[in-house]
Amino acid sequence: MAGILTITMSPTIDISASTRNVVPIHKLSCSGVRRDPGGGGINVARVVRRFGMECRALYPTGGYTGDFLRALMDKEGVESLHVTIAADTRESFTLFEESSEQEYRFVLPGPELREEEWQCCLDRLAALPHRPAYLVASGSLPPGVPDDFYARVARIAELLGARLVVDSSGAALKAALDAGIYLVKPNLRELRELTGESLELQSEWEDAATALISAGKSEIVALTLGEDGAFLVSPMGCLRATGLQVDIHSAVGAGDSFLAAMVWQLSLGRSLECAFRYGVAAGTAALGTPGTELCRIQDVERLYGEVRVEPVACTGRRNSL
C-alpha cells in the first residue's frame, strides 16, 4: 500500500460555533462549539485517515496552541512529524448564523517563520526514513517562508521518488508548477489568477490545463468548480463531473476532502476516473457537515454512486481515463 505524507506550513486550530443572529456590540451566545486541527495538508491527512489509510503530517508548531494541535492530531490517529517553532500556532474561527444560514470565516494571521525553522521542515522531509509514494503540499505559506518553498519540496520529492500533489495559490503555486509536479488542484479563481485569463468557458479551462500539462508543469490538473462540480485534464483525456444538489452547512475543508479522496484512491492503484469520482463525492460530503467537521465516510460512499462523470471531447486527446 502506497504511503501518503502531507505538508502544511500554515497549520491552525479551527474553532467553529453557531449563533442565532450576528449583531454588533452585543454579546453573542454560541452553541455547537468544535475545535479541530486545520490547515490544508492537515485536513487532507485527517480525511485520508478516516478512509482507513495511514497518513503522516509534517507541519511547524509552537506554543500552547501548538501543543493542543498535536494532541488533536493524536486523537485523529494521524502521525505528526512536527517541527518546533518559536511563535504560537495560529487559530481560525468559523461562525454560522442560524437565522440567515450564512457562514462567517475569520482567518487569523499565522506566525512568521525564521529561516532555520522552515529549512528544518525541508530537512525533515529530505531525511525521511520511510519514503512516501505521494506527497501532498497544501495551503498557503506563512510570513517568512519563501515563495519557492513548494518548488524546493518538488526537488526533494523527485529525490524521494514521490509524486507531488500541490493545492495552493499565487506565487507559491506558480513556483511549484515551474519546478514540475504530478497533480495540481486549483479552483477556478486560483486558475484565473495563475493564467491572468477570465476563463469563462469550459473550452478555456481545457486550454489552460492543457497548457500546464504540455509545458511539463503538472501531469494532471483537477479543477474544482464549487457547486458546478469539477473538471479533470490529463494526457489521457478530459472528464467533467456535474455538481450534486446537497444542503450546504459549511464550505470549510471541501477542497481538502476532494483532494484527500483522490490521493487515497490513486495510492490504492485505482483509475484516475475512479479517484476523480471519489474526490467529487468527498468534496460534496464536506459541504453537508457543520463547521470544521470535514466529510464523513458514510456520506462519501453514498454520494459516490450519485456522481456523474462524462468524458469531454478534448482537442487532440484520447478520452480513455
Shortest CA distance to 131 belongs to which of 276, 302, 4?
Answer: 4
Contact present, 110 and 233 (Cβ < 8 Å): no
294, with CB counted inside 10 A (0-12, 13-18, 19+), is buried
293 secondary structure, DSSP code: -
Catalytic choice (14, 148, 256, 299): 256
Question: What is the CA angle 72-73-79, rounded to 5?
Answer: 155
- Distance between terminal CA atoms of the chain? 22
Shortest CA distance to 236 belongs to which of 181, 164, 316?
Answer: 316
Does 256 participate in catalysis according to the annotation? yes
Q: Which residue has cell 471531447?
A: 313
Residue type present at position 35: R
Contact present, 280 and 241 (Cβ < 8 Å): yes
29, with CB counted inside 10 A (0-12, 13-18, 19+), is exposed
Handedness of CA 10, 13, 14, 19 (dihedral sign): negative
Residue positions annotated with a catalytic role = 256
